[in-house]
A and B are shown apart, each in its own frame.
Chain A
Amino acid sequence: MSTSEDRGLASLVNVAGLRLLLWLALGSWFYARILHNPYLIGEGHDWTYFTHHLIASYRTYVDYHQLPVWNPYFCGGIPGIGNVQSMAGSPTMIFPILFGALPGWRLSMLVMLVLGMEGAYQYARHNGAKSLGAVVAATCFAMSGRFVQLLYDGQPVFLGFEMTPWLFVGFERGFRDLRWAVVGGLAMSLVFLEGGAVATPILAVSLALLFIVSTFSLVVTRSRDPAWWSPLRSLLVMTAVTVGLSAFRLLPVGAALLAFPRTWEGGESYTAAAVFDMLFTQHASPGYSGPGSAYLGVFCLLAAAYAVAQHDRRSVFLIAMGFLCFDLAMGEHSWLHLYAVVKHLPILQNIRNPFRFVVCTALFVSVAAGKGLWLFEDRLLRWMRHPSLDRLALRFPIPQHWTTRIVSSAVTILVAVPAYFIVSQNLKYNRGRVDRLPLHAVGLSMDRPFRQSIGNRWLAHVWPAVNLGSIACFEEQPFFTSPALRGDLPQEEYLADPSAGTVTRVSWSPTRVDLDLWLVKPATVIVNQNYHRGWFANHGSVRSLDGLLAVSVPQGKYRLVIRFVDPLVVAGGAVSVMTAGGLLGIGGLGVYRKRRRRREEPIRS
């Protein structure tokens, strides 16, 4: 029997629909607590922060039918899509838009989990793990501890890390087929658009590491197919797709980061024992980066060790990559000083939370474990196909193909035993933690005319739900905020000189304010929001007055329309649309050519 084919019942996972159904069922079971309680949030402070950004974006999309390029609900107005931590521009926002802010958010988390499982499955298959082995790898990675810890920390945006296997499989398969590099680029843009302020640089560094190791191994082995330059080609295509697709966010985020850099002066270091404990030790309350916070399980490690012990070259490669990520996770205690090197690279000086590199270690170990299981299955099958067993089988009146099936099923059952132990060790601990997640009600909502409130950033989610802005806020980036913002104004739009006339609000939306002016002399209209270069008006000139948005207008009776249009979002949007259109066009052309070839083949024959 061929050793490269899937066997028995496990081969059912080859059917994409059945496999996705399995992932969905597993994901629903794993995240049951948060899925069945969509209106409850965790107690970690970041829950309130990210819920705020979600509700603010949701209101802008659904109530005002606008792109959330500006978020007037926080700090007196800050960039929306241009905020690197916001998920306002993520494709997963489609779920909140369709199913309601909070239920849709939970569904998007489920989708990310499923994508993670499918990605890890694909990466395991790419590395030679088949049937049950690939399923185990997918389950172990996508449901590892960091994807539970993010619920405790209140950082669902870190579900972007579920895209890690897609990056790696896209990159590696892209050596031979550039369509896979496009898939990798799509995954990377999703990581960034999902609010991956931390995930993007960490995954970029991991990918760069994989690129270096892959190129080195191709050069050393003098490989011709793929050639030594294939990794570079794949990486370039991935980068082009990522930059192109996320340009509408990349440009405003870049501008905002240049103007208000995310500075990180703190040193972070973890001992090897601490990083090992994150992955392989259970703990009642792991904390942000404590033991068990990235739990994978010792059985998973043992299966990976078995794969290495079988002298499987690919598994050795995976474990080597896992070790490099482990080393990076140690931060400034890094044995190979990789983290120090990364910190000296341009753009990456402010990289933080090195312990998050354990996500990549978890992936490499999971895939190696899956490969180990597959090798174990293969070895069992060889034993059971021993000639003496064949002779024994001949004594019974059983057809030959039946014998093969019986043997395959027996092997599957035998392999299911270690597979069960690997997966159950992981899931019992991690799912148990999801079940114990403390949750509390998110609060009430209200539709009322918008105005600024002094607010409270520790209860940030409360304010946009009742259409109030919270001037009190916190952002990792020091966005410009005016000291003149007030939470006690009778009118949000007013004249600097009240004797100049009257201002009446006609309509308000996050990116457009319509005002009726009746002025007896030239005046300055002040809006109780921060000034930003993206504000434009149809009359007069927009300027900053003590940091507030102000418009110098002439006298008369007319309607003043103040709009927020960020030229960088517009320019980036054009690039993104062209990239998406180009990719769709190339894809469509490929499908058309393939069909035409198929149609022509019988004629030729």
Chain B
Amino acid sequence: MQPIAPPPPDANEGSAPPPAAASVSHRILSWLRLAIPELLLQLRNLCVSHRILSWLRLASLALPLIFFAWKAGRIVRVPGPGRLAWDERTGTADLGLDTNHRQALFEELASHDAGWKKANARFEDDWSRHDDFHALMSQHIVAQSRTLGMSPTILCLVYDEAVHAGWVSTKGVKFEARWVPLKPRTR
């Protein structure tokens, strides 16, 4: 008895996927098509219902704080002006200048005294005359500090030392140690 022959093979067998496999990929794709929007919708609902969005909004406040901290770090790291040393033992500031140099600076400053006083004679009251004297002195100090390449602080401290120690210049100039009481500005 002849065995029953198997059915003849399909002409496309080997090139096309089996029907079962095709349906799986199709199912996966269609599931993804449906699932992704659904997932997004669920996520959105989750965000809304659990106030995750509110928390995210709140968390976003960290961004400006981080930026500010970064900016502050940059600004703080900028090298500052130098510091002068104070000698407790001698009670003097170390300006990096010897006494002769400081006195020479004072002589130079004092040499303008007469000119500045002459310039401010146009003011009627004492306060204005004193103030104008100091205005001219400050302009000179700033200009001089640029010329000499030193900080205006040094020149100011030399001026202070001259007043405090009562230095007298070779032309007999001695800076005043008193000031006229404050006069208000009304115009």
Contacts and interface: CB of A to CB of B under 8 A. Distances in A.
Contact of B183 (A38, A453, A478): A478
Contacts of A441: 81, 151
B117 to A, nearest CB: 15
A481 B186 contact: no
A478 B184 contact: yes
Interface string B84-121: 11100000010000000000000000000000000000
A16 B76 contact: no
Contacts of B131: 457, 472, 474
A262 B185 CA distance: 8
A264 B185 CA distance: 8
B68 interface: yes
Given A17-B60, A21-B64, A453-B160, A446 B93 contact: yes
Interface in A453-503: 453-459, 462-463, 465-466, 468, 471-488
B75 interface: yes
Contact of A103 (B59, B75, B85): B75
A31 B58 CA distance: 28
Interface stretch (B1-9, B16-24, B27-35, B134-142): B134-142
A63 interface: no
A338 interface: no
A471 B80 CA distance: 27
A574 B20 CA distance: 84
Given A24-B64, A264-B186, A456-B134, A443 B84 contact: no
A38 B71 CA distance: 12
Given A39-B80, A103-B76, A266 B64 contact: no
Interface size grouping (class) on chain A:
35 or more
Interface residues of B, number: 59
Given A110-B71, A453-B163, A488-B163, A444 B151 contact: yes
Main secondary structure of the interface of B (DSSP, over half): helix
B11 interface: no
B61 interface: yes
A39 B131 CA distance: 27
Contacts of B40: none
A107 interface: yes
Contacts of B86: 446-448
A107 B157 contact: no
Interface string A243-266: 000000000000000001011111
A254 B142 CA distance: 37
A480 B184 CA distance: 11
Contact of B134 (A24, A262, A458, A477): A458
B106 to A, nearest CB: 14
B171 interface: no
Nearest to A482: B181
A20 interface: yes
12 contacts: A17-B61, A21-B63, A23-B64, A100-B80, A444-B83, A444-B154, A445-B83, A453-B160, A453-B163, A456-B138, A456-B156, A486-B177
Interface of B: 57-64, 67-68, 71-72, 74-76, 78-86, 93, 130-131, 134-135, 137-139, 141-142, 151-154, 156-157, 159-160, 163-166, 175-187
Which 6 A-B residue pairs are closest in the complex by CB-CB distance?
Answer: A17-B60, A458-B138, A488-B177, A478-B184, A20-B64, A266-B187
Given A103-B78, A446-B86, 9 more contacts: A23-B64, A28-B71, A103-B75, A265-B187, A448-B93, A455-B160, A474-B185, A478-B184, A487-B160
Interface of A: 15-18, 20-21, 23-25, 28, 35-39, 75-76, 99-100, 102-103, 106-107, 110, 260, 262-266, 440-448, 453-459, 462-463, 465-466, 468, 471-488, 547
